[in-house]
Structure 1
Amino acid sequence: MDYFGQLLANGLVLGAIYALTAVAFTLVYGVVRLVNFAFGELFMVGAFVTVSLMQDEVKLVGVTVPMPALPFPVAALGAILVTALLGVVVDRIAYRPLRNAPRLAPLITSIAVSVVLQSLAQTIWGAEELPFPTFGLSDFPPIVLFDEIYLSVMDLVVMATAVVAMIGLTLFVSCTRLGRAMRASAEDQTAARLVGVPVNRVVGAAFAIGSGFAALAGLLYAQSYGFAHATMGFLPGLKALTAAVLGGIGSIPGAALGGVVLGLVEALGAGYLPNGSAYKDAISFVLLVLLLYVRPQGLLGRPELNSAGRGSLLGGAGALGPLWVRAMFEKVDGALGRLGHAGAPVAVGALVVAVAVGALLPSDYWLRILTVVVIYGMLASGLNVIVGFAGLLDLGFVAFWAVGSYLTSILFVLVLRGTFGIEPQEVWWLLYLNLPVGGLLAALLAVVLGTPTLRLRGDYLAIMTLGFGEIVRIVAINWVGLTRGPMGIRGIPSPNLFGYPLGSARAQFFVAVVLAAIVLFAIAKLVRSYVGRAWVAIREDEEAAEAMGVPTARYKLYAYAASGFIGGFVGVFYAHYQQYISPLNFSLFENIIILMLIVLGGLGTFIGPMVGAVIWIVFLQVAIDIPFVQAYPETRFALLGVILIALMLFRPQGLAAGARVRLLMAGADRRTAR
């Protein structure tokens, strides 16, 4: 009983923190239908501001700054107010202009805001942990319940704070004028405007309250674990999002229930399951997947929220903002349209240019950079199949990439060399066999993981795929006997052809270009077939596609299989190029980067992923020469985040969106001809 009771108490404390952050997600989602990934970083900001205000001095941007040394309650209140104000500012700058934008633009913007805030936090407070100062309540001895369950005073404060905050918010939403305005805006913003509700102010208030709750959860989490860190909000943010979905995102009681359930399941699973502490994060995501499969809307959610809005993820190919911006992109679209009409000659010309660059570029350093560009361009092209052409928002694509990488690494290093003593050069041909085999294995996994998602739409689909990706990563971390866990697998051989080593930067660039040509050719043939036309029909309007007789479930699985095959195929080459892989290579952040590449270049286009990869990778390298960036390297990601936010505000369809228009027109022309 004492062990079970202690686990129960620990789970309630953890669940209270999850519940507070889950409320932040659910409050904003209920009003504007936005999964704000930046709440994990606001969670972190609340912790950092609290720690800073409680100290005599703190280093900010490397400079020692005197601080007021406030008591914990006052510092906590100040941090909540600062973070709430930050949430309002972020909404005003980044989200409000996108209220009527295509439905993927605000989501990508929230990811970009998350990257900006995390990078700025590393720049301001540094990459090291900031210890949480001791204060009066933390010095009290623990309280013993039933003579066997130990709880610190702060544990009780955490649970009491969560209960009071939940009750207060529920009464606020139910009984106050602003709360009623929030409920009206959540039901129908257009109707709310017609009856005089100031929707923008209401949404701003929702962001302020949600950000305040995230800050409260973050500072309570930081005092429980004793530190604040720039990346501390990432995993708790994911858990809180999981809790919000479990309870029914959009429902405040559901967020509270989801947080408590998640905290209890994690604590009991870690305590009772074999190796449970290592797999406790996976337990959360398994619970999420199972519940979404059985009850897609969550425990207390509304079924109508499990839907995708009409129209494709990023709408048409227009530009927003000032006239000069629109005029500039009209010229770009015209040029891209002419290139798209040229078709095969342009593709051959691009291949010739790539070969010429590989042959003439003297710098091995830049050849390696361009090889990484090609690899990420291929990965983005694979994700583009399912997101850009089929319109299914997948946040678990890295799982397929990991399958190919681990397949070839385990086979060459752990099996052939480690078990049988066979050197890689003796079986050089196995690499080229692993390319399609890795792709097929990843495609099979994609179909298996994609099948449970067929009942889901929109954001719920994205969250379930996120869960699958995290489960695969956590298994890779903890299955040490197969994957070597966090240590990774080293000594993966470079590519070899007929006994000739392809280890030089130039040779590997050429191999990457050949593989990219194969991948892009296959995607082009597939998209221009009847399968591709079915994907585009699903992307543009799934209900209309079903009404026209398209078996949408089957073609969705085709999209998963094709995307997974490319991920596994590229993963095999990636492992041999890097010569080392670990679970860190396949994190959710990597999936987000790949998604950002296709959005940056142009969703649903052939050239967009490569354009995005060039901009992203080359900018990261060029920015190193900026003096401020040399002093604070993290600001590179902040700058890229700002660029992506600006792109979403003025060009949400991506830089190469004109090529997407030409593709759709070409498809329509062929259908007309037939």
Structure 2
Amino acid sequence: MDYFGQLLANGLVLGAIYALAAVAFTLVYGVVRLVNFAFGELFMIGAFLTTSLMLDEVSLFGTPVPMPGLSFPLAALLAIVLTAGLGVVVDRIAYRPLRKAPRLAPLITSIAVSVVLQSLAQTIWGAEELRFPEFSLAAYPPVVLFGSIYLSVMDLVVMAAALLAMIGLTLFVSRSSLGRAMRASAEDQTAALLVGIPVDRVVGAAFAIGSGFAALAGLLYAQTYGFAHATMGFLPGLKALTAAVLGGIGSTPGAALGGVVLGLVEALGSGYLPNGSAWKDAISFVLLVGLLYVRPQGLLGRPELNSAGRGSLLGGAVEMQGWLRGLFGRFDHALEKSAGHGGKVALAALAAALVIGALVPSDYWLRILTTVVIYGMLASGLNVIVGFAGLLDLGFVAFWAVGSYLTSILFVLVLKDGFGIAPQEMWWLFYLNLPLGGLLAAGFAVLLGTPTLRLRGDYLAIMTLGFGEIVRVVAINWVGLTNGPMGIRGIPLPEIFGIPLASPRVLFFFAVALAGVVLFLVARLVRSYVGRAWVAIREDEEAAEAMGVPTARYKLYAYATSGFVGGFVGVFYAHYQQYISPLNFSLFENIILLMLIVLGGLGTFIGPFIGAVIWIVFLQLAIDIPFVQAHPETRFALLGVILIALMLFRPQGLAASARVDLTMRGARAKEGASDEPLGRRAQA
């Protein structure tokens, strides 16, 4: 009983921190329907500012800088105010211009802001941990409850601060004029504007309060665990989002309840389950997936939030300003013409890739270009489900991991380590594993996709995120199958008749050939009635159902196709890298793939490869900039700024004009199709 009580106390402390951060998520979501991934970085900045202000000297940009050495309460208050101000600035620059943009644009912008803030934090404070200083409250002896439950004074401060902050926020929202304006804006921003409510100011206030709550959670987390670090906000940010969804995102009491529940579940699971501390992250996401399946809106959420607006993912083309129209005019015209000559364009692109591969003299750049092709193929797989079917998937890396681990386990752990068979003797197994890895990942995708059929919009994205994280945690902890965090080494290069394809040039040509296969299969499927059903679902799922399209079935087809591509490419990726580990399949990698297809243009065949070229080649070229050489992490900040600018001025993506016409009118004109409705043809 004493052990249970101590776990319960620990869970309440952790739950209080999660609750504060979850309130930050849900407050902004309730007003503008934005899952702001940058709150994890505001969490981190609150911790860094508090720690820095309490020290006498801090190394900034690698140079010692004197600091005021403030007391903990004063430093915390100043950090909260500064972080709240930063939240308002971010909203004004990055989010406000996208109020009426398609739903994906502000989401991608929030991811880009997260990348920028994390990269800047690494540049300013460095990649090392900043130790939280000792202060008077932390030196007091622990309080003993019921004779056996120990809580430090700061644990009590954490719980008290969280309780007071959430009570104060509840009273503020329910009784103040600004709080009532927030509630009105959350219900209907247009109606709020009509009655004279300054919606932009109200939203700015929501960002300020939410950012302040994130900073408070971050500084309390830093003092509890004794450090601040540039990446410290990533996992707590995910947990806060999980807590917000558990309670019902958009509901402040629900977010608080979700945070407490999540903290208690993690603490009790860590204490009672075998190796529970290693599996506690998986416990959180299993709880998330299970609750969303049973009650999609969360514990206290409203059912109507489990929806996606019509055309909300991509939206129509955005009218560009004059200078942008002139800049992209010829480019768009060429892409529009190419959309009607897909076969010729594909052959021309293949020929260009072969010429580039033959002329590039550097093995280093050939490896870079091979990585571009691999990421372009992976992004093409994600593009099937996001760009064509309109389902926001944040767990695609799970399918990539299935293919990579399948071939790695068979070649290294089974054949080589288990039976002592040299991989060269079984070189043909690689070619068998390509379709086998794709099929296994496709089956896995259907298995994971089935529970998501009841979900819409952001809830769908969050559930797939949970699936992806569960797979990653399993890969880390199932050491007997995956070799755990150490990963699997010694994966053989692809071979033909026992001859290794060791040359970077040959591997590049091999990757291009695989890319040709992937694009051919995807293009044939997308241009069929299956692809037209996907586009109908993407543009208006309710209208597609009304026209007789069996949307559940075609969603599963999209998951299966996306999973097949991920598993297929994952097999080649493992052999090309010759080493894999769970770090290769993190949520950040999934976010990068999503950014690639948004950068290039969702729903296009060429977009994922354009995005991959820009992302990966820029990372290499930017290293020649003197400041970047001193601070390499600023490359990601620069890319984040580019992506934010793209979302502000061309949210449809660079190659959006290459999006093919998949309407039934175009199908009849080009293929002589009958006048039979899409729904009837789809069901056939």
Cα deviation, residue 554, structure 1: 0.3
For the residue of structure 2 that corresponds to 1:300, the secondary structure is coil
Q: Distance in 1 between matches of 2:87 and 2:596?
A: 26
- The answer to whether structure 1 residue 411 and structure 2 residue 410 are counterparts is yes
Q: Distance in 2 between matches of 1:552 and 1:582?
A: 36
Summarize deviations over 1:537-560 as a string: whole Å, max 9, x none: 000000000000000000000000
CA contact (8 A) 2:173 2:179 kept: yes
Summarize deviations over 1:46-95 as a string: whole Å, max 9, x none: 00000000011101111111110000000000000000000000000000
CA contact (8 A) 1:598 1:609 kept: yes
- The answer to whether structure 1 residue 625 and structure 2 residue 632 are counterparts is no
For the residue of structure 1 that corresponds to 2:419, the secondary structure is coil
Q: Partner letter of residue 246 of structure 2?
A: L
Summarize deviations over 1:601-628 as a string: whole Å, max 9, x none: 0000000000000000000000011111
**Residue 77 of structure 2 corresponds to which residue in structure 1?**
77
Q: Distance in 1 between matches of 2:186 and 2:667?
A: 38
Cα deviation, residue 661, structure 1: 5.2
Distance 1:44 1:555, change over 3 A: same
Q: Distance in 2 between matches of 1:631 and 1:215?
A: 29
**Residue 638 of structure 1 corresponds to which residue in structure 2?**
637
**Residue 138 of structure 2 corresponds to which residue in structure 1?**
138
Q: Distance in 2 between matches of 1:448 and 1:179?
A: 43
Cα deviation, residue 346, structure 1: 1.1
Q: Distance in 2 between matches of 1:493 and 1:222?
A: 43
Q: Partner letter of residue 33 of structure 2?
A: R
Q: Partner letter of residue 120 of structure 2?
A: L
Distance 1:95 1:550, change over 3 A: same
Unaligned regions of 5+ residues in structure 2, if any? 675-684
**Residue 90 of structure 1 corresponds to which residue in structure 2?**
90
**Residue 424 of structure 1 corresponds to which residue in structure 2?**
423
For the residue of structure 1 that corresponds to 2:170, the secondary structure is helix
Unaligned regions of 5+ residues in structure 1, if any? none
Cα deviation, residue 181, structure 1: 0.1
Mapping 1:457-472, distance limit 5 Å:
457-472=456-471
* The 10-residue stretch of structure 1 (657-666 or 592-601) with the greater mean CA deviation from structure 2: 657-666
Mapping 1:351-430, distance limit 5 Å:
351-430=350-429
Summarize deviations over 1:83-122 as a string: whole Å, max 9, x none: 0000000000000000000110000000000000000000
**Residue 267 of structure 1 corresponds to which residue in structure 2?**
267
Runs of 4+ in structure 1 displaced over 3 angstroms? 661-674
Summarize deviations over 1:166-187 as a string: whole Å, max 9, x none: 1000000000000000000000
Cα deviation, residue 330, structure 1: 3.1
Cα deviation, residue 135, structure 1: 0.2
Mapping 1:93-104, distance limit 5 Å:
93-104=93-104
For the residue of structure 1 that corresponds to 2:150, the secondary structure is strand
Q: Distance in 2 between matches of 1:107 and 1:517?
A: 31
Q: Distance in 2 between matches of 1:422 and 1:245?
A: 49
Please report the TM-score for the alignment, with normalisation by the length of structure 1: 0.99
Q: Partner letter of residue 352 of structure 1?
A: A
Q: How many residues align?
A: 673
Q: Partner letter of residue 546 of structure 1?
A: E
Q: Distance in 1 between matches of 2:271 and 2:512?
A: 50
For the residue of structure 2 that corresponds to 1:230, the secondary structure is coil
- The answer to whether structure 1 residue 328 and structure 2 residue 327 are counterparts is yes
Cα deviation, residue 673, structure 1: 4.9
For the residue of structure 2 that corresponds to 1:65, the secondary structure is strand
Cα deviation, residue 501, structure 1: 1.2
Q: Partner letter of residue 242 of structure 2?
A: T
Distance 1:164 1:432, change over 3 A: same
Mapping 1:478-517, distance limit 5 Å:
478-517=477-516
* The 10-residue stretch of structure 1 (323-332 or 360-369) with the greater mean CA deviation from structure 2: 323-332
Q: Distance in 2 between matches of 1:537 and 1:26?
A: 31
**Residue 600 of structure 1 corresponds to which residue in structure 2?**
599
Cα deviation, residue 128, structure 1: 0.2
CA contact (8 A) 2:407 2:574 kept: yes
CA contact (8 A) 2:56 2:68 kept: yes
Q: Partner letter of residue 14 of structure 2?
A: L
For the residue of structure 1 that corresponds to 2:23, the secondary structure is helix
Q: Partner letter of residue 148 of structure 1?
A: S
Cα deviation, residue 669, structure 1: 4.0
Cα deviation, residue 318, structure 1: 3.1
Distance 1:76 1:668, change over 3 A: farther
Summarize deviations over 1:143-194 as a string: whole Å, max 9, x none: 0000000000000000000100010000000000000000000000000000
For the residue of structure 1 that corresponds to 2:386, the secondary structure is helix
Q: Partner letter of residue 149 of structure 2?
A: I
Q: Distance in 2 between matches of 1:319 and 1:16?
A: 45
CA contact (8 A) 2:21 2:213 kept: yes
For the residue of structure 2 that corresponds to 1:652, the secondary structure is coil
Q: Partner letter of residue 563 of structure 1?
A: S
**Residue 475 of structure 1 corresponds to which residue in structure 2?**
474
* The 10-residue stretch of structure 1 (58-67 or 202-211) with the greater mean CA deviation from structure 2: 58-67
- The answer to whether structure 1 residue 340 and structure 2 residue 339 are counterparts is yes
For the residue of structure 2 that corresponds to 1:418, the secondary structure is helix
**Residue 170 of structure 2 corresponds to which residue in structure 1?**
170
Q: Distance in 2 between matches of 1:188 and 1:86?
A: 26
Q: Distance in 2 between matches of 1:433 and 1:312?
A: 40
Q: Partner letter of residue 170 of structure 1?
A: T
Cα deviation, residue 313, structure 1: 1.1
CA contact (8 A) 1:435 1:573 kept: yes
CA contact (8 A) 2:535 2:662 kept: no
Q: Partner letter of residue 56 of structure 1?
A: D
For the residue of structure 2 that corresponds to 1:197, the secondary structure is coil
Q: Partner letter of residue 316 of structure 1?
A: G
Q: Distance in 1 between matches of 2:38 and 2:305?
A: 21
**Residue 435 of structure 2 corresponds to which residue in structure 1?**
436
Q: Distance in 2 between matches of 1:241 and 1:668?
A: 45
Distance 1:669 1:152, change over 3 A: farther
Distance 1:384 1:89, change over 3 A: same
Mapping 1:11-22, distance limit 5 Å:
11-22=11-22
CA contact (8 A) 1:282 1:471 kept: yes
- The answer to whether structure 1 residue 566 and structure 2 residue 578 are counterparts is no
Q: Distance in 2 between matches of 1:668 and 1:136?
A: 77
Q: Distance in 2 between matches of 1:117 and 1:360?
A: 39
Cα deviation, residue 274, structure 1: 1.3
**Residue 179 of structure 1 corresponds to which residue in structure 2?**
179
- The answer to whether structure 1 residue 155 and structure 2 residue 155 are counterparts is yes
Q: Distance in 1 between matches of 2:580 and 2:544?
A: 41
Cα deviation, residue 519, structure 1: 0.1
Cα deviation, residue 299, structure 1: 0.3
Please report the TM-score for the alignment, with normalisation by the length of structure 2: 0.97
Q: Distance in 2 between matches of 1:641 and 1:211?
A: 20
Q: Partner letter of residue 493 of structure 1?
A: P
Q: Partner letter of residue 11 of structure 1?
A: G
Q: Distance in 1 between matches of 2:130 and 2:69?
A: 15
CA contact (8 A) 2:667 2:673 kept: no
Q: Distance in 2 between matches of 1:669 and 1:205?
A: 52
**Residue 650 of structure 1 corresponds to which residue in structure 2?**
649
Q: Partner letter of residue 425 of structure 1?
A: Q
Q: Distance in 1 between matches of 2:35 and 2:300?
A: 18
For the residue of structure 1 that corresponds to 2:418, the secondary structure is coil
Q: Distance in 2 between matches of 1:40 and 1:125?
A: 17
For the residue of structure 1 that corresponds to 2:101, the secondary structure is coil
Q: Partner letter of residue 110 of structure 1?
A: S
Q: Distance in 2 between matches of 1:503 and 1:653?
A: 39
Q: Distance in 2 between matches of 1:552 and 1:626?
A: 50
Q: Partner letter of residue 503 of structure 2?
A: S
Cα deviation, residue 355, structure 1: 1.1
Cα deviation, residue 317, structure 1: 2.8
Summarize deviations over 1:654-673 as a string: whole Å, max 9, x none: 00000115555844744775
**Residue 277 of structure 1 corresponds to which residue in structure 2?**
277
Summarize deviations over 1:460-504 as a string: whole Å, max 9, x none: 000000000000000000011111111000000000011221011
CA contact (8 A) 2:50 2:79 kept: yes
Q: Distance in 2 between matches of 1:666 and 1:600?
A: 26
Cα deviation, residue 413, structure 1: 0.4
- The answer to whether structure 1 residue 555 and structure 2 residue 554 are counterparts is yes
CA contact (8 A) 1:375 1:570 kept: yes
Summarize deviations over 1:357-404 as a string: whole Å, max 9, x none: 112211101100000000000000000000000000000000000000
For the residue of structure 2 that corresponds to 1:59, the secondary structure is strand
